[in-house]
Amino acid sequence: MVEDEAPRPKQAWRTSGSLFIIFMFIGAALLFAYSLWFVNTHSPVEARFNQRRRPLAADTAGYYILRERAGDYLRTSLNVDTLDATEGRRHGIAEYDVDGKTVRLEVEYIPDATPTLDMVFDGFFERSNGTDTASVLKRFPQARTPYYFAVFSGFTYTYYEFGWINGNWILRASTRDAGQEALLRFVNGYVY
């Protein structure tokens, strides 16, 4: 004699397992949407300037300041100028290769006055071969490391420059051909 088997009730673990998988898919979809937003949304370049810098002493030797490597970038030219002088104002320039393009780093020591952002910005239009009509300047004088970011848009080129103060030192990094993201990577890789 064969007895009719009654249908079995669904097991509770199967229902909770299905809900768990559904929640996992929803979570994965939300995480994927967030990652797309995060990757494609950048804060402005000037907001990502690394303000944690090593202090730069007055007697720091020129080869330490205009080091051979700045982050991942290799120095391609060096003009020590008066950087190794023992007294007075000191000045030097180096150029670095950033993805096959040039970034210029200029340093200047001001012994007789406390540098201001106006002093750092002074000469911007000569360095950029530009005028004040086609430029953007964003200053951050109250930052941990006072700095600015300036852009000059010419007819055939765009000039980008970060300038900052470290003690009595003025530092400027600029480029015409590497672009603002490459300049930011260089500046954030430079320790002073």
CA pair distance 60, 182, nearest whole angstrom: 27
Strands 135-140 and 169-175: unpaired
CA pair distance 23, 29, nearest whole angstrom: 10
Please give the chain's pLDDT, 192 residues, in tens: 556 666 665 555 556 677 778 888 888 888 877 776 666 666 788 889 998 999 999 888 888 899 998 888 899 999 988 888 878 889 999 999 988 899 999 999 999 889 999 999 999 999 998 776 668 889 999 999 999 999 998 888 999 999 999 999 999 999 998 889 999 999 999 999
CA pair distance 107, 172, nearest whole angstrom: 7
Asked if the 48-189 domain carries CATH number 1.10.3210, the reply is: no
Residue 74, both tokens: 């290799």
Whether the Cβ atoms of residue 66 and residue 83 lie closer than 8 Å to each other:
yes
